[in-house]
Structure 1
Amino acid sequence: MLSIVIPCYNEEETISLFYKEVEKVRQQMNEIFEYIFVNDGSSDETLTILRKLAKEDPTQVRYISFSRNFGKEAGLYAGLKAAKGELITVMDVDLQDPPDLLPLMMKKIQKSDVDCVGTRRVNREGEPPIRSFFAKMFYKLINKIGDTEMVDGARDFRLMTRQMVDAVLELTEYNRFSKGIFSWVGFKTEYLEYENRERVAGTTSWSFWNLFNYSIDGIINFSDTPLNIASFVGAFSCVASGIALIFIIVRALLFGDPTSGWPSLISVVLFVGGLQLLCLGIIGKYIGKIFLETKKRPVYIVKETETTNPS
């Protein structure tokens, strides 16, 4: 059986379209599918549509509905935990992940020694240029400062063996970054390339600011380089201040102590103060992540499933 994990957040326009397209592929493959839709606290009619779909196809369709919006990472984690298949894939409901790749992915994972068949976009046509630029910069940066390699353009859309999914589920951390986790577990992965596809309906819930914060989380979760940078900046400022102090003392002994220089002094104070705040901000980010982990709060809370549907 192939389990398909589909996180949903305000996707009332795309769920039916997604189900129909994947069903076409399933009939061609003649395989048993398990749909696991995860409603991430949607405020539209997403849950109503999932209830209806589960009634129409009770043998294949399951859904999990959160008590509020916990984020896509929580949706992925919940879906993977609920999946029962020997093969599991993760897909976006907006059809930016092409369902017609599933037969080839299935063939590759069954006839080779790979544990995961992933997908990656060869271009970002249709995306705002600034988003594409920062996405490329993120992958270049994380691969230089982190120990876990992340493939540029790689999607969450991947077909994984049960062994790999079980390994992913062993990582129970609260602060999750799935792209990094999928790479960190270390199973053999091959990638299929495809042209970028736009959403079939609706609008994305990922703003530029959301993606920026998500990338910061990825860097913090998989690299301690920002802490090293903060230490280096602090040490450099200390040494530079010491040299400047010696220079000022020597100049005062040789040429006297002029009263001029207040603007430059204030500039230096503000500069050093800014560096200190920057370093404290970096350290604070890591401390905040530690704080959330030590609380041991659940990654998500389930309010309803197809078996607890009040109707």
Structure 2
Amino acid sequence: MSQKVSIIVPCHNEEETVELFYQAIQKTFAQLPNYQPSILFINDGSNDQTLKKLRQLNQRTEVDNHFLSFSRQFGKEAGIYAGLKNVDGDLVTIMDADLQDPPQMLVEMIHLLETTDYDCIGTARTDRSGEPKLRSFFSNLFYKIINRISDTQIVPGARDFRLMRRDMVNAILEMSEYNRFSKGIFSWVGFKTKYLPYKNVERVAGQTSWNFWSLFKYSIEGITDFSTVPLIIAVWLGLLVMFIAFAGLIFIVVRSLIYGNPTKGWSSTISIILFLGGMQLFFLGIIGNYIGKIFLEVKKRPIYIIKERK
């Protein structure tokens, strides 16, 4: 009896790639006769012809495939969670529709998972060829920062593309938090994981919906989801500034008593006030970000809303 492999594919404006992805999966599993693929596409509020393409693919029978279509765009994290909630395969994988996650790697991943005691086989890019240098720099910086300040360690270059056993998927589903950062969640739940390195693969077609700003916001979400160190930094810097200000105050008083007050003008005073005010606003922003996450969690809104399923 063949084992079922559920393939979760979040899609946002991927009309040019879903057909190519379907064909690639069909070709890959031709080499895996003992495994039955089942694709679940997640249409995350696409405003192109992605949904139409998914409806057409749903009529085909070469590979078992279904789709969920959200009522609006909820984000890739919501798409991943919806996929995990709605698949029932013995093995579960998450892949991008643009084929930057090479389907051919599933052959080795399945072999390793079935011949070892690993619970998960993940993937990590070893280079970022074809990607803007500035984006690569900040991406590498993100991994250095989060691994320095968080107890949850993330392998540099790690992708969402991984193959998991059912018990690991069930553990992830127990974490039903509204603010989600899957790379951190995959690491936090534990389970024995092996990462396969591979060189960067460019999109097979279409344009990415991830720009520098969206990736920057995503990295900030990851840091604040899995570390309270920014709050600790705010406390210590606040104490440092208070100490410097107190020492400066003593210096000014002593100097005035000995030499009088030769300082006239207000530019230096205004500069200090603006500096301290800006720093206070910065740290209030950090605190506000954490409070905002609490606000979203306590409202208990659904992570996603399904408009159509097939």
Given the two structures, how large is their TM-score scaled by the length of structure 2?
0.97
Structure 1 gaps of 5+ residues are 307-311
Match of 1:309 in 2: none
2:251 corresponds to 1:251: no
Match of 1:3 in 2: 6
1:63 is matched with which residue: 64, 67, 84? 67
CA offset digits 1:77-135 (Å, max 9, x no partner): 00011111010000000000001111110010011000000011111000000000000
**Contact kept in structure 2, 1:40 and 1:65, CA below 8 Å:** yes
Identity %: 58
Match of 2:36 in 1: 32
- The list of structure 1 runs, each at least 4 consecutive aligned residues, that deviate by more than 3 angstroms after superposition, is none
SS of the aligned residue for 2:104 comes to: helix
**Contact kept in structure 1, 2:26 and 2:62, CA below 8 Å:** no
Distance 1:233 1:21 in 2: 53
2:185 corresponds to 1:181: yes
Match of 2:19 in 1: 16
2:274 corresponds to 1:296: no
Distance 2:197 2:243 in 1: 50
Decide which moves more: 51-60 or 111-120: 51-60
SS of the aligned residue for 1:192 comes to: strand
Distance 1:220 1:259 in 2: 43
SS of the aligned residue for 2:93 comes to: strand
**Contact kept in structure 2, 1:233 and 1:275, CA below 8 Å:** no
Letter in 2 for 1:25: T
Distance 2:261 2:194 in 1: 69
**Contact kept in structure 2, 1:234 and 1:279, CA below 8 Å:** no
Match of 2:77 in 1: 73
Structure 2 gaps of 5+ residues are none
CA offset digits 1:213-270 (Å, max 9, x no partner): 0000000000001001111111111111111111111111111123515222111111
Match of 2:274 in 1: 270
**Contact kept in structure 2, 1:96 and 1:199, CA below 8 Å:** yes
1:75-94 superposed matches below 5 A: 75-94=79-98
1:108-119 superposed matches below 5 A: 108-119=112-123
**Contact kept in structure 2, 1:15 and 1:93, CA below 8 Å:** yes
What is the RMSD of the two structures over their aligned residues, measured on CA atoms?
A: 1.0
**Contact kept in structure 2, 1:117 and 1:192, CA below 8 Å:** yes
CA offset digits 1:154-189 (Å, max 9, x no partner): 111000000000000000000000000000001100
SS of the aligned residue for 1:62 comes to: strand
